Amino acid sequence: MTYLGLGSNQGDRVALLEQAIALIANKAGPVVARSSFMETEPWDFQSEHLFLNAVIAVATDIGPHRLLKVTQKIERSLGRTQKSSNGHYHDRPIDIDILLYDDLVVQEKRLVIPHPLMLERPFVVKPLLEIAPDIIHPVLGKKIAELVLSDRSD
């Protein structure tokens, strides 16, 4: 199973997330679970626009590199004109991140799986816990729920 994080803080956020989910289902594979939408403050940058975030589970048979190309094409088709780079984030109509892809671990310049910041981001962790609390983090070897609970007890 592949888990994708979605976010939008420009335009009709609900419509953009729904369009992204439909396009992912059409181009990558069936969406078998989806979290509720969660409104959050921008993470690591200032903006007056709140984000709407969600996590979806996708049963895909395309590989992770192809999936990255597909999600980036969907982002562009929904109005995203620039990617965040070097930790500089900005407002965007849609953002799609590959969080987990089965139990794969990929460490490349353009693709890192599992997503390296996913456990630091409440807008990823909370929706992921909603749909897949028992999924095992392939690097840390623990359930997402265990990682989040152990982090909170420190």
Per-domain residue ranges of the chain: 2-152
The per-residue pLDDT for 84 is 56
- Matching CATH number, 2-152, of 3.30.70.560, 3.30.1130.10, 3.20.20.120, 3.40.640.10: 3.30.70.560
Distance CA 72, CA 29 (A): 15
Give CA separation, 137 vs 15, 36, 71, 128, in Å.
31, 22, 22, 12
Q: For the chain, list residues with pLDDT below 70.
A: 43-45, 47, 82-90, 149-154
To the question of pTM greater than 0.85 for the whole model, the response is yes
The per-residue pLDDT for 45 is 61
